[in-house]
Amino acid sequence: MRPQPTSRMCFVCGRENPAGLHLRFYEDPDDQQVRAEFVLPETCQGYPGIAHGGIIAAILDETAGRAVMLHTTYETFMATVSLTVRYRRPTPVGVPLIAIGWVEQIGGVGAKVRGQIRLADGTVTAEGEALLAAAPDEFRTRWEAERPYWKVEDSLPTVRIPDSD
């Protein structure tokens, strides 16, 4: 699988964000999906031992945007217009998880994308459906300063556990 670029300060994928999740996404061209393997630390919990729903939504949102990159360039950014999350069962912290995303429909100025958070055994803990549209011009202007940091960083591990100290 081919790694996708990461940014500098994104909460989900940012390499240099000290409070971030540091997820690294990979493309699976055979299945037309993106995937990220990760472990959420205790600092991401809502209830004891269970990931906060907002963290799960953020991961599904990022997964949607990355799935679109399978069908565009890495610099054709879209913004989430709506995100519906279904929490199927509690998502635990401290265990291996997988985020998977795929495009259901793309065309014109938008895309419909789906994604899931799964346990290592394939059990779905949460799923999301997102509608994305072309990013506004203001975003593109701000993006220019970040462009040099948008790259594949080979030194990052596939699974990273952020420090919880």
Q: pTM score, two decimals?
A: 0.89
- Which two three-digit tokens encode residue 164? 């919880």
Superfamily designation of domain 24-149: Hotdog Thioesterase (3.10.129.10)
Question: What ranges do the domains of the chain cover?
Answer: 24-149
Comparing CA positions, the residue from 120, 123, 13, 11 lying closest to residue 69 is 13
Percent of the chain with pLDDT over 70: 93
Query: Tens digits of per-residue pLDDT, 53-90?
Result: 999 999 999 999 999 999 887 777 889 999 999 999 99
Give me the mean pLDDT over the 82-106 stretch. Answer: 98
Per-residue pLDDT band for 143 (boundaries 50, 70, 90) equals: confident
Q: Which residue's entry shows tokens 């990355």?
A: 66
